[in-house]
Amino acid sequence: MTVSPHDKARILSEALPYMQRYDGATVVVKYGGHAMGDEAVARAFASDIVLLEQAAINPVVVHGGGPQIQAMLGRLGIKSEFAAGLRITDAATVEIVEMVLAGSINKQMVGFINEAGGLAIGLSGKDGNMVLARKVTRSVVDADTFAGAIAGALKAKRLLLLTDVPGVLDRTKSLIKELTIDDARRLIADGTISGGMIPKVETCIYAIDRGVEAVVIMDGKVPHAVLLELLTDHGAGTLIHR
Amino acid sequence: MTVSPHDKARILSEALPYMQRYDGATVVVKYGGHAMGDEAVARAFASDIVLLEQAAINPVVVHGGGPQIQAMLGRLGIKSEFAAGLRITDAATVEIVEMVLAGSINKQMVGFINEAGGLAIGLSGKDGNMVLARKVTRSVVDADTFAGAIAGALKAKRLLLLTDVPGVLDRTKSLIKELTIDDARRLIADGTISGGMIPKVETCIYAIDRGVEAVVIMDGKVPHAVLLELLTDHGAGTLIHR
Amino acid sequence: MTVSPHDKARILSEALPYMQRYDGATVVVKYGGHAMGDEAVARAFASDIVLLEQAAINPVVVHGGGPQIQAMLGRLGIKSEFAAGLRITDAATVEIVEMVLAGSINKQMVGFINEAGGLAIGLSGKDGNMVLARKVTRSVVDADTFAGAIAGALKAKRLLLLTDVPGVLDRTKSLIKELTIDDARRLIADGTISGGMIPKVETCIYAIDRGVEAVVIMDGKVPHAVLLELLTDHGAGTLIHR
Amino acid sequence: MTVSPHDKARILSEALPYMQRYDGATVVVKYGGHAMGDEAVARAFASDIVLLEQAAINPVVVHGGGPQIQAMLGRLGIKSEFAAGLRITDAATVEIVEMVLAGSINKQMVGFINEAGGLAIGLSGKDGNMVLARKVTRSVVDADTFAGAIAGALKAKRLLLLTDVPGVLDRTKSLIKELTIDDARRLIADGTISGGMIPKVETCIYAIDRGVEAVVIMDGKVPHAVLLELLTDHGAGTLIHR
Amino acid sequence: MTVSPHDKARILSEALPYMQRYDGATVVVKYGGHAMGDEAVARAFASDIVLLEQAAINPVVVHGGGPQIQAMLGRLGIKSEFAAGLRITDAATVEIVEMVLAGSINKQMVGFINEAGGLAIGLSGKDGNMVLARKVTRSVVDADTFAGAIAGALKAKRLLLLTDVPGVLDRTKSLIKELTIDDARRLIADGTISGGMIPKVETCIYAIDRGVEAVVIMDGKVPHAVLLELLTDHGAGTLIHR
Amino acid sequence: MTVSPHDKARILSEALPYMQRYDGATVVVKYGGHAMGDEAVARAFASDIVLLEQAAINPVVVHGGGPQIQAMLGRLGIKSEFAAGLRITDAATVEIVEMVLAGSINKQMVGFINEAGGLAIGLSGKDGNMVLARKVTRSVVDADTFAGAIAGALKAKRLLLLTDVPGVLDRTKSLIKELTIDDARRLIADGTISGGMIPKVETCIYAIDRGVEAVVIMDGKVPHAVLLELLTDHGAGTLIHR
């Protein structure tokens, strides 16, 4: 769709109240390893992160790396088991996990952000002796949980959990637009929320309990998903709040 | 024209390189008194100024007030003469000019910006003993000249002179998109640039000589003219540079 | 009276304990519009304000402008009513009031202070979005009330209300040197304090309730009245305190 | 002489331009050990130093201690010789000199200034490893020379050398009000300036050569001599400048 | 004993955990006037103080001066009395005490520290108007008590009381390695701690009550006693703590 | 060898002049990947780095990772060629190199330093957009060269190149204790310096040309090699300077 420059200017002007809502706030974005596979998508995401900072929002990106870790473990002939959606890591595996996360995916994302004009520094839980984080990465190695802990520690205004589904679905497979944490607990209890969505929603509850204003579970494959959620009147995914 | 949220997000993302171009830069915007007459236009302008600051640009607004001054002089039965497009002010008139500019128009603009979420402070040349400015307002009382001096003193990246014409026109009344200051001097010499446009262009040359990177003479009546010029690929008006 | 240089030096040395009493403190001075009419008096006042700052006291001047507003309304043929000493302002009048206060009197005082070597900036309630102040000026337009609110918000050590009478008088028309706020309330109740002095004294009580240490109602026509009160052993006017 | 409060206020207001002349400037005052003998005089001097700081001037006091040193040396039965007005100090004497200067006179002056409301810290050349100063005090032990070096190092606006004579006298014993450093050199050469005044004037020339704007040799026994010189229109003593 | 460079490097590396224990902490060291008599010992002490600062510890030295004061009083033929280990000072004596402490011993110690590469400033209770300290020095003139007060005010991690005995001894004249303040009170009550050790231990209790973590009474004649206590695994003297 | 606590204290005190020599200075230490293989050695090195920081020296560690990279390439069946001691990296290899360096070795070293009480952050050339560094790592992938560039950019006082040989040897295989950069150039020209030592010495010359005061090529296998060189009188390896 072609938009005239005058319409572009108007659309920019309409973004002001959204920018003001998040002015000076910290927004933690959990970006899945799946999305890193497509370089064009990853670069577009990096550019959107730079735009947030340009608009006086403080973005923190937490990334996973499941597929890349799996691929590297495969190339090295190492097998790993999973339980409740979380990888069970032995001493041998954890070295590869750390190496792929901190040395490959992290640096690729840092490179994309900085090439888009940002000034990112990539940190792992070991850097600066961030003890809590380190404990988490060592024993659990789950980026959603880590993102929730980081968002709580930073008292983020929003935690965006970018996944490959539209959000939390009800029993008719329709998207639930908004949930309180009490609603969320009830839907877990009655089985509406199930499978891999359970730990995601539990992370949301955990983060909100530690001071995050709201969490959005949303589809990271939608182009400019982060901007769509934060800077337009279009509420993406499922908003979970107190 | 209706634009989908997904297109809006894309358009916002396309504004990033323009925001980065002016990141941390000072942009002086000369806003004419004519435009103050329409409150909706003035409020839209104020909102765009706030957006600039949100995007890490430092906007400085210099306003005139010709029509309002003229109206007040009329209500008070004071007559004033003009020469070469500049008002000839006697001791009796200058008090009214200062009162209308600093007490009425300035405070109205400050109010509009702050109601749009900004944090403007309205200054006159007397505040903080800004001597040069004071001398100018006292002897000349011309907002274009003042804006040029301010932009030069602040080493602004851009000076936008908002007028009620599209820019500098050639002899066929077509808009000239771009001029070097040498071009501009030649067009004044050969009569292509004439009348009230001469002091405007001379202000541009003066500002560029004092360190302003470029000046744009453009139509302030176009909605979101400032955003159109600074944050889209649409070059508005006439760009004058070294 | 001629004073020798040696006596001058001694008198300066005697001012030290008074300067130390107000060292680093905020003193709010309400200066009436009446006094603005005589330029020599206004310039002497401005010079005294600069001296306060030189002696490490933080002066804040709040000015009225009744006579000038009245004159401008007269020139424009606008009539206004008063109730209980406060002007009743309609939408048409308030624009003129703001214009005269912010554009004429304020800038004249800023000019006088800065020409005496100070570095004043003139602010109205709209500047920097000082909301409370704006609300007050909009609905009341009374400089005494405004000065009381400012002094309370700044936790000023002194509020000096410069008027054209010596202070609060008793029933024999003698100056009352000192009043507690309880005394003041009783004198309003029994009719000793009456007329235009009532809102002034109520402003004093209001300011002291909000943290101002003491208020002085005093005659601003006395030369160097501010220095006389603050930096000599001569208590001017009526001192009101808790 | 009795001065009315109104005249006191006027006299204070007349001091403003003098305060502004020295605003933020460093003024070094050499205070002789002779004057320390009279506690009332020393306390008045200390109070004047505090007033300077209150008026935004940065005073630095350099003190001597000849009489007190002489008295202590006498009590201990130590004899010392003088050459050209400077004490010749052997290793045995220098310990007593340092002890009296740093432990007795310095702490007495610090006490007087702080009891007058100041916040002085007394330093000797050893504190903070002020090497140059230490070298001077060790080999010369002359407070005038030291004061000149300190004033030069601090680029002081004024060095006031308080002595027990009115200033530099001509051959008729009349006070010379003003001297350039060239004048001063000529008067030393032709014998007009002689005896103990020669090293004082040489200190003035030395200090001015190192960036001090002007030096005043003046009578420290005059009450409030420092205020008289700095804050009134009465030029005390002999002003020496480039 | 000759130690190889490789062993020196190893010993340095072993000091790291001790440096880390006191990192950024304040350590107050009371240094007796007795030790000042031997210049080599005093210079070694000064050098150790500089090493503490180099290792990110903030040392504060409090010095006495009994022998030097006594010697000067003797030379001047002034007699003084003692009660309970504290000097009884009359108005005549206190001047000599201050002069010797602030002008002689203090400046000698400052000189030694600065010649070892430190940047010490020597202060007395009068400097900077440290009122409490001044009161103490004036009425008591006991450096142990003063050191306890300083250590308490600074919330020091350690107060080291350097004396000329190994520490607190039991009835068999054996060193007591460690005492709680309750132990210490009991040993004073039952007479085990007696004589001049009583006020020292009471100073320890006083300091710990005001927030000092622990105090060590130790022999200042041992070479590098301060480093031995703070930076090696050798606990010197008697450690007293809550 | 057993050293008494008193000797330990003396040895610590003897380290002061060495600490003072490097006070506040930056020291870049190039640590080879070979040494990372032995965890005890790597932890001892990390602890020494923390001691440097404790002693007010600013250490920057640059690490290689040749053996670990080689091992990982081997596990993955990737072959790489070398030329003049530098690895020739194709696009496929560079990913593994970055992953091992930034994700495995870097994080291991960060962990060791932080577990020793430091507060290290591990950066790669991509972090914070350190362009020059990035270019180097991308095209060359040689840690010595990178360390020289970093040391030059930081104007380090010392660059320590830790290798597995004692330093630069002469033709009789004896250690050369000290070289000027002119000496070094001559020894390269006449063949005395040869093989893999040539690029190391060229890095030294490069670093010194860019402002590093001196470089030491030394044996990193010696326990506490860094402390031995910096904090004792034992000059380790070959010192190269202007």
pLDDT in tens, C77-125: 988 777 766 666 677 788 899 999 999 999 999 999 999 999 999 998 7
Does position D136 have pLDDT exceeding 80, yes or no? no
Length of chain D: 242
Please tell me the predicted confidence (pLDDT) of residue E86.
65
- Whether C110 sits inside 8 A of B122 (CB atoms) is no
User: Who has greater pLDDT, C55 or A94?
Assistant: C55
Residues of B in contact with C75 (CB under 8 A): 76
Per-position DSSP letters for C51-115, written without gaps between them: HHHHTT-EEEEEE--HHHHHHHHHHTT---EEETTEEE--HHHHHHHHIIIIIIIHHHHHHHHHH
Contact assessment for residue B200 and residue B163, using Cβ atoms and an 8 Å cutoff: yes
Which residues of chain D are at the E interface, by a Cβ-Cβ cutoff of 8 Å?
A: 75-76, 95, 98-104, 106-107, 110-111, 114, 119-124, 126-129
- Whether A110 sits inside 8 A of F99 (CB atoms) is no
Please tell me the predicted confidence (pLDDT) of residue F128.
73
pLDDT grade, residue F133 (50/70/90)? very low
Q: Which of F157, F211, F236, F227 has the alpha carbon at shortest distance from F12?
A: F227
Does position C131 have pLDDT exceeding 60, yes or no? no
Residue indicated by tokens 């380090």: F156
Mean pLDDT for the stretch of residues C19-34 = 92
Low-confidence ranges of chain B (pLDDT < 50): 131-139
Joined together, the tokens standing for residue D85 give 């007005």
Q: Which of A124, A130, A135 has the most F C-beta neighbours within 10 Å, making it the best mutation to test the interface with F? A: A124
Mean pLDDT for the stretch of residues F55-65 = 94
The pTM (predicted TM-score) of the whole model is 0.87
Measured distance between the N- and C-terminal CA atoms of chain A, rounded to whole angstroms? 38
- Whether C98 sits inside 8 A of B103 (CB atoms) is yes
Mean pLDDT for the stretch of residues F185-206 = 96
Q: How far is CA C4 from the centre of its chain?
A: 33
Joined together, the tokens standing for residue A117 give 């004009």
The β-bridge relationship of strands D238-241 and D214-219 is antiparallel
Q: How far apart are CA B117 and CA C131, in angstroms?
A: 12
Considering D34-48, D182-196, F115-129, the range whose residues carry the highest mean pLDDT is: D182-196
Measured distance between the N- and C-terminal CA atoms of chain E, rounded to whole angstroms? 38
Please tell me the predicted confidence (pLDDT) of residue D129.
64
Q: Which of F63, F97, F99 has the most A C-beta neighbours within 10 Å, making it the best mutation to test the interface with A? A: F99
Q: How far is B72 from chain C (nearest CA, A)?
A: 9
Q: How far apart are CA B101 and CA B104, in angstroms?
A: 6
Please tell me the predicted confidence (pLDDT) of residue B85.
66
Q: In 10 A of CB B140, how many CB atoms? A: 15
Q: How far apart are CA E234 and CA E18, in angstroms?
A: 11
Mean pLDDT for the stretch of residues C16-28 = 96
User: Who has greater pLDDT, D87 or C30?
Assistant: C30
Strand, coil or helix: what is D207? Answer: helix
Strand, coil or helix: what is D86? Answer: strand
pLDDT grade, residue D2 (50/70/90)? confident
- Which helix or strand (DSSP H or E) is residue C239 part of? strand C238-241
Which residues of chain C are at the D interface, by a Cβ-Cβ cutoff of 8 Å?
A: 1, 3-17, 19-20, 23, 44, 47-48, 50-51, 54-56, 116-117, 222-225, 227-228, 231-234
Residue indicated by tokens 């400097």: E127
Q: How far apart are CA D109 and CA D121, in angstroms?
A: 10
Average pLDDT, rounded, for chain F: 89
- Whether C119 sits inside 8 A of B101 (CB atoms) is no
Q: How far apart are CA E237 and CA D220, in angstroms?
A: 56
Average pLDDT, rounded, for chain E: 89
Looking at the DSSP bridge assignments, the partners of residue E150 are none
Which residues of chain F are at the A interface, by a Cβ-Cβ cutoff of 8 Å?
A: 75-76, 95, 98-104, 106-107, 110-111, 114, 118-124, 126-129
User: Who has greater pLDDT, D233 or E161?
Assistant: E161
Please tell me the predicted confidence (pLDDT) of residue A133.
40
Residue indicated by tokens 């769709």: A1
Joined together, the tokens standing for residue E155 give 């919330």
Mean pLDDT for the stretch of residues C137-153 = 79
B210: exposed, middle or buried (Cβ count in 10 Å: 0-12, 13-18, 19+): middle
pLDDT in tens, C150-209: 999 999 999 999 998 999 999 999 999 999 999 999 999 999 999 999 999 999 999 999
Query: Interface partners of C (3+ CB pairs, < 8 Å)?
Result: B, D
Per-position DSSP letters for F35-60, written without gaps between them: GGGSHHHHHHHHHHHHHHHHTT-EEE
Q: Which of B103, E19, B97, D212 has the alpha carbon at shortest distance from F51?
A: E19
| Angle formed by the axes of helices D197-209 and D181-189, nearest 10° | 150
Residues of F in contact with A95 (CB under 8 A): 104
Please tell me the predicted confidence (pLDDT) of residue C53.
96
Please tell me the predicted confidence (pLDDT) of residue F136.
41
Please tell me the predicted confidence (pLDDT) of residue C54.
96
**DSSP summary character for residue C128:** G
The amino acid present at D142, given as its one-letter code, is D
Considering D49-58, D228-237, F38-47, the range whose residues carry the highest mean pLDDT is: D49-58
Contact assessment for residue A26 and residue B23, using Cβ atoms and an 8 Å cutoff: no
Per-position DSSP letters for chain B, written without gaps between them: ----HHHHHHHHHHTHHHHHHTTT-EEEEEE-TGGGGSHHHHHHHHHHHHHHHHTT-EEEEEE--HHHHHHHHHHTT---EEETTEEE--HHHHHHHHIIIIIIIHHHHHHHHHHTT-------TTGGG-HHHHHHHHHT--HHHHHHHHHHHTT-SEEEEEESSSS-B-TTSPBP-EEEHHHHHHHHHTTSS-TTHHHHHHHHHHHHHTT-SEEEEEETTSTTHHHHHHHSS---SEEEE-
Q: Which of A9, A50, C241 has the alpha carbon at shortest distance from B226?
A: A9
Q: What is the dihedral of CA D114, D120, D126, D131, to 10 degrees?
A: -160
Q: Nearest Cβ partner of E54 from F1, F3, F23?
A: F23
CA-based nearest residue in chain B for residue C97: B103
Mean pLDDT for the stretch of residues E196-219 = 96
Listed in order, strand segments (DSSP E) in C121-234 are 158-163, 178-180, 214-219
Looking at the DSSP bridge assignments, the partners of residue F169 are F175
Backbone angles phi, psi at F28, to 5 degrees: -95, 130
Residue indicated by tokens 């063949």: F191
Q: Nearest Cβ partner of C104 from B98, B107, B123?
A: B98
Residues of F in contact with A128 (CB under 8 A): 114, 119-121
Looking at the DSSP bridge assignments, the partners of residue D216 are D160, D239
Q: Which of B108, B126, B130, B141 has the most C C-beta neighbours within 10 Å, making it the best mutation to test the interface with C? A: B126
- Whether D6 sits inside 8 A of C117 (CB atoms) is no
Does C touch F (3+ CB pairs < 8 Å)?
no
- Whether B228 sits inside 8 A of A17 (CB atoms) is no
Looking at the DSSP bridge assignments, the partners of residue C179 are C240
Q: How far is F117 from chain E (nearest CA, A)?
A: 8
Q: How far is CA E79 from the centre of its chain?
A: 26
Please tell me the predicted confidence (pLDDT) of residue C1.
64
- Whether F56 sits inside 8 A of E56 (CB atoms) is yes
Mean pLDDT for the stretch of residues C205-234 = 94
Q: Which of D129, D135, D138 has the most E C-beta neighbours within 10 Å, making it the best mutation to test the interface with E? A: D129
Q: What is the dihedral of CA A78, A79, A80, A82, to 10 degrees?
A: 160
Mean pLDDT for the stretch of residues F4-12 = 92
User: Who has greater pLDDT, E100 or D138?
Assistant: E100
C-alpha angle with apex B94: B93 to B99, nearest 5 degrees? 105
Please tell me the predicted confidence (pLDDT) of residue D86.
65
CA dihedral over D44, D47, D53, D54, signed as positive or negative: negative
- Whether D102 sits inside 8 A of E106 (CB atoms) is yes
Q: How far apart are CA C227 and CA C234, in angstroms?
A: 10
Low-confidence ranges of chain A (pLDDT < 70): 1, 84-89, 129-139, 141
Please tell me the predicted confidence (pLDDT) of residue F79.
81
Q: Nearest Cβ partner of E122 from D100, D119, D127?
A: D127
Mean pLDDT for the stretch of residues F126-139 = 52
Strand, coil or helix: what is E144? Answer: helix
B111: exposed, middle or buried (Cβ count in 10 Å: 0-12, 13-18, 19+): buried
Listed in order, strand segments (DSSP E) in chain D are 26-31, 58-63, 81-83, 86-88, 158-163, 178-180, 214-219, 238-241
Q: How far apart are CA A133 and CA A147, in angstroms?
A: 10
- Whether E13 sits inside 8 A of F232 (CB atoms) is no
Q: Nearest Cβ partner of E50 from F1, F12, F16?
A: F16
Contact assessment for residue F79 and residue F45, using Cβ atoms and an 8 Å cutoff: no
- Whether B7 sits inside 8 A of A10 (CB atoms) is no
3-class SS string, chain A? CCCCHHHHHHHHHHCHHHHHHCCCCEEEEEECCHHHHCHHHHHHHHHHHHHHHHCCCEEEEEECCHHHHHHHHHHCCCCCEEECCEEECCHHHHHHHHHHHHHHHHHHHHHHHHHCCCCCCCCCCCHHHCHHHHHHHHHCCCHHHHHHHHHHHCCCCEEEEEECCCCCECCCCCECCEEEHHHHHHHHHCCCCCCCHHHHHHHHHHHHHCCCCEEEEEECCCCCHHHHHHHCCCCCCEEEEC
Residues of F in contact with A126 (CB under 8 A): 107, 110-111, 114, 122
Residues of E in contact with D101 (CB under 8 A): 103
Tell me the CA distances in angstroms from D175 to A213, D35, D169, D224, F25, one per residue in order. Answer: 80, 21, 5, 19, 57
Please tell me the predicted confidence (pLDDT) of residue A129.
63
CA-based nearest residue in chain B for residue A12: B12
- Which helix or strand (DSSP H or E) is residue F31 part of? strand F26-31
Please tell me the predicted confidence (pLDDT) of residue F9.
93
